[in-house]
Every structure is written in structure tokens, then in C-alpha cells.
Amino acid sequence: MATEFESLAILLLQVLVLVCSLQVVLVMIVVYYLTRVQDLVRGATAVREQPVRTRPLPSPEPALPSPPPASRGESRPPAKPAYAVEILEDRRDIRGSVQAICDKFTLRDLIITTRDGLVVVSSTPGVAEEAARLTAIHRRGGKTAEKDLLFLPVVHRGEELLGILRADRTLDETERKAIEKDVAQILNWWL
């Protein structure tokens, strides 16, 4: 009887140790994620607390062909360059800035996600599942049958993010670099 009691006590003690260990691990995970959220909030608060928001330098405008000369007596209004779309000052929020990038480069969609597929911002609402799926594709090597898809790695405040672009046309290297620069500008401006 005493040996049965001792073995039962040892078994209960082992279960108690296991449960306590699991609780410690769970608490550590919760503390880790709360720290990350706190750092993100602190970073966003620091940006909002700045007394004066400086306007970033305008990006250099690419050379565009000049319009054909107007005939005598006919005047044409000056054409607005394709890249002269304001992405920061005239926008209400970060989503407006992302939509401005889409307008500027004639993109169908632009999604910015974390490395694990969480949506930071998107030009289109309700893309959480698609963002997670496309981020997973990118992590596995970025091969997809979708020809209109382009992945754009971005680093913001030490965090690796991913830009997912959809365009109806092929973007050249100059446009990709300009999009990358604009994405970095809006992240620095809003976050």
C-alpha cells in the first residue's frame, strides 16, 4: 500500500512539473509577442509625437517625351508627368498612400505583409488569406503560375516586409526601384 501511494505521489509530482513547465513556456511566448507589439506601438507613437513633419525630397522625375507641338492658334495645357503623383501629403492614411502608388504605376493591387503573411496595409480590403498564401509561396522560392505577380522585399525599421504587386503589364527595373523607394517612403511616413 505504501509503495502504491509513493508511486502515485511521484506520478502526480511529474504531472505537476510538466504542467508548470508548459505554463512557463506559454508565459514566455505571450511576453515575447507583447514586447513586439509594444515596440511597434512605441515606434508608431514616436512618429506621431514629432512636432513638425518634414516633407521628403521629391523623387527625381524620369525624362518623358515631349508632346507634339501644337498647331498655330491652338494651345494645349501642360501635360502632367506620369510620375508626378503625390503619395504622402495629400493622403488621409497609409492606405491612401498605397492606393496612390497603385495609381502612379498603374498597379492593380499592392499588399505589404510581414514575413509570416500578416497584412500591414493593402490597396484592396479583405486580402488576408491571399496575402498569407502569396507570402508562403515567396518563402518557398517565389515560383507561381501567376504572370501578373511581383514580389518586392522591403526592410522597415529592421523588420523584413514583403510587397506583393499585381500589374497588367511588365514592370521594368527602373519602375521596380521607384516602387520600392515609394513603399519605403510611405512606411517611414505613416509607421
Q: Is 94-190 CATH 3.30.450.190?
A: yes
Per-residue pLDDT band at 23 (split at 50, 70, 90): very high
130: pLDDT strictly greater than 50 = yes
Chain segment 29-44, per-residue pLDDT in tens? 988 888 887 777 776 5
For residues 171 and 165, the answer to whether their CB atoms sit within 8 Å is: yes
* pLDDT at site 40: 75
Residue type, 172: D
SS3 114: strand
Confidence of residue 53 (pLDDT cuts 50, 70, 90): very low
Residue 22 has pLDDT above 70, yes or no: yes
User: pLDDT value at position 142?
Assistant: 67
What pLDDT does residue 6 have?
Answer: 85
Contacts 24+ apart (CB under 8 A), 121-125: 121/94, 121/95, 122/95, 122/98, 123/95, 123/98, 123/99
pLDDT value of residue 98: 87
Q: Are 176 and 121 in contact (CB under 8 A)?
A: no
CA of 186: how far to CAs of 6, 24, 93, 153, 182, in Å? 66, 39, 10, 15, 6
Rg (CA), the chain: 26
Three cell numbers, residue 97: 498612400
Residue 181 and residue 59 in contact, taking contact as beta carbons nearer than 8 Å: yes
For 70-129, how does the pLDDT look when each residue is reduced to its tens digit (9 = 90+)? 444 444 444 344 556 667 777 778 888 888 888 888 888 999 998 888 888 888 888 888
Whether pLDDT at 150 is above 70: yes
pLDDT for position 50:
44
CA angle 157, 158, 162 (to 5 degrees): 90
**pLDDT > 90: percent of the chain:** 5
What ranges do the domains of the chain cover? 1-47, 94-190
**What's the mean pLDDT in 125-147?**
83
Average pLDDT estimate for 20-25: 90
Strand partners, 110: 165
pLDDT, position 123? 87
Please give the average per-residue pLDDT across 147-166, as a whole number.
87
Residue 88 carries which DSSP code? S
Q: Which residue has the cell 502515485?
A: 8
DSSP β-bridge partners for residue 121: 112
Looking up cell 497609409, which residue turns up?
Answer: 94
